[in-house]
Amino acid sequence: QSRLAFVDLQPPDPILGVSEAFKRDTNDLKLNLGVGAYRTEDLKPYVLNVVKKAEKIMIDSEENKEYLPIQGLEAFNKATADLLLGQGHAATKENRVATLQSLSGTGSLRVAAEFIAKFLPGKTVYLSNPTWGNHKNIFADAGVEWKWYRYYEPKTVGLDFEGMMEDLRGAPEGSVVILHGCAHNPTGIDPTREQWEQMADLCIEKNHLPFFDVAYQGFASGSLDDDAWAPRYFASRGMEIIVAQSYSKNLGLYAERVGAINFVLSDAEAAKRVMSQLKRIARALYSNPPVHGARIASIVVSRPELFKEWNEEMEYMSGRIKQVRQDLNGHLTKINGDRDWSFILNQVGMFSFTGLNKEQCKVMTDKHHIYMTSDGRISLAGLPSSKAEYLAKAIDDCVR
């Protein structure tokens, strides 16, 4: 018998496990709306043209494969802070931003979680209820206590803004508040600018530390600038903020693991110290980050002609998703006009939160071969227009 016979079996990941189940299904009707990965209308993965162009530039310049410094590629770190804050931001000019290239959004969040465990002991991290499932794992595994704040209101399939403010007001002073920068996962429900302003007031009043998770910059509105509005606004109010960035979705670099953790601080001295500690944390976790995707992102962000083209491709991808939102809403309204389906149009980003419960989601999969997470989230990025009617009929079947 194995000495590890006592190890329990961990259930499959709630999101990535859906893709595994999808692969096993042999029915032609099957549709994978589980993972948030962009697909074309013919359900093909999409490699952005700007990525191909950047890779060609890289091949031509015959770059080597030496280790990067622990903090990552210098050109990438500059480009990523500029993409986040806008070019020429006072904080970057004054060297008050500590930016460390890390392993996409997940790795960046984990580095910051380790930092919080080490340097803000006893602080609680507040997560929106619901949130991306991995947030809980990331903070729990780093030994950081986390609690919920209210976010989703099932009655309206909308934001419970009052509940959220009440919970954040009730949190101990100086708590860490995780905020989805845009395109909230899984609900697709973002606060309005006015609501963000009130949240900023509250964070200042309570001395909370806002920690933005920016995994979908460009996917909410189609504009990379507009989607960075919330963290830029908080920084403009003079608050110190933490921001994790991911290029998985907006540059389609899922498997390259490109992202960064940024601490926007009050002065250069603090940024220098924080940077030294982020490096110490990364050194023990994975030593230094991968170079390929960071080169791609830095080339695309820093060359004006490629940056312009990226913005166009971003609009194209987010435009396709907006179109299938309309299609799905249209079909559902036609099939079942007694219900209000407008929430689908009001939600933004890759996802729609359908309000389907666990049992209904199981029917979606078992009977209709539609794969989705059991919280009722569907990834519209994986829905072609041609399948919107099929999806609408299945949803209608489940709610009748």
Q: Is 104 in the site for ligand PMP (CB under 6 A)?
A: yes
- Residues in contact with ligand PMP, counted by CB under 6 A, come to a total of 13
Q: Within 13 A of 219's CA, how many CA atoms are on the CB side?
A: 33
- Residue 109 DSSP code: H
Helix, strand, coil tally for the chain in percent (to 5) = 50, 15, 40
Q: Is 132 in the site for ligand PMP (CB under 6 A)?
A: yes
- Least Cα distance to 264 among 122, 86, 102 occurs for 86
With H, G, I as helix, E, B as strand and everything else as coil, classify residue 378. Answer: strand
Could you check whether the bond before residue 186 is cis, i.e. omega within 30 degrees of 0? yes
Min dist CB 267 to ligand PMP, Å, is: 29
Residues 343 and 152: their CA atoms lie apart, in Å, by 12
Stretch that binds ligand PMP, among 139-147, 246-254, 295-303, 355-363 (CB under 6 A): 246-254
Residues 136 and 259: their CA atoms lie apart, in Å, by 19
> Does residue 146 have an active-site annotation?
no
Q: Which two tokens stand for residue 240?
A: 């110190």
Pick 248 or 354: Cβ nearer ligand PMP: 248
First-residue to last-residue Cα distance in the chain:
51
Pick 36 or 188: Cβ nearer ligand PMP: 36
Q: Is 347 in the site for ligand PMP (CB under 6 A)?
A: no
Q: Is 213 in the site for ligand PMP (CB under 6 A)?
A: yes
Pick 36 or 382: Cβ nearer ligand PMP: 36
Q: At what angle do helices 104-119 and 134-141 cross, to 10 degrees?
A: 40
Binding test (CB under 6 A) with ligand PMP, winner from 51, 84, 97, 105: 105
Q: Is 231 in the site for ligand PMP (CB under 6 A)?
A: no
Min dist CB 336 to ligand PMP, Å, is: 30
Q: Is 349 in the site for ligand PMP (CB under 6 A)?
A: no
Q: By the 8 A CB rule, do 316 and 223 touch?
A: no
Q: Is 36 in the site for ligand PMP (CB under 6 A)?
A: yes
Residues 370 and 384: their CA atoms lie apart, in Å, by 13
What DSSP line would sit under 4-42, residue for residue? TTTPPPPPPPTTHHHHHHHHH---TT-EE-SS---B-TT
Min dist CB 125 to ligand PMP, Å, is: 14
> Does residue 132 have an active-site annotation?
yes
> Which residue, judged by CB position, is nearest to ligand PMP in the bound state?
105
167, 227, 249, 341: the active-site residue: 249
What residues between 285 and 324 interact with ligand PMP by CB under 6 A? none
Q: Is 185 in the site for ligand PMP (CB under 6 A)?
A: yes
Min dist CB 215 to ligand PMP, Å, is: 4
- Residue 379 DSSP code: E
Burial of residue 384 (CB within 10 Å: 0-12, 13-18, 19+) is: middle
Pick 105 or 188: Cβ nearer ligand PMP: 105
Could you check whether the bond before residue 121 is cis, i.e. omega within 30 degrees of 0? no
Pick 141 or 166: Cβ nearer ligand PMP: 141
Stretch that binds ligand PMP, among 17-25, 90-98, 101-109, 303-311 (CB under 6 A): 101-109
Q: Which two tokens stand for residue 399?
A: 């709610």
> Does residue 213 have an active-site annotation?
yes
Min dist CB 65 to ligand PMP, Å, is: 23
Q: Is 248 in the site for ligand PMP (CB under 6 A)?
A: yes
Q: Which residues contact ligand PMP by CB under 6 A?
A: 36, 104-106, 132, 180, 185, 213, 215, 246, 248, 254, 259
For the annotated catalytic residues, the residue numbers are 132, 213, 249
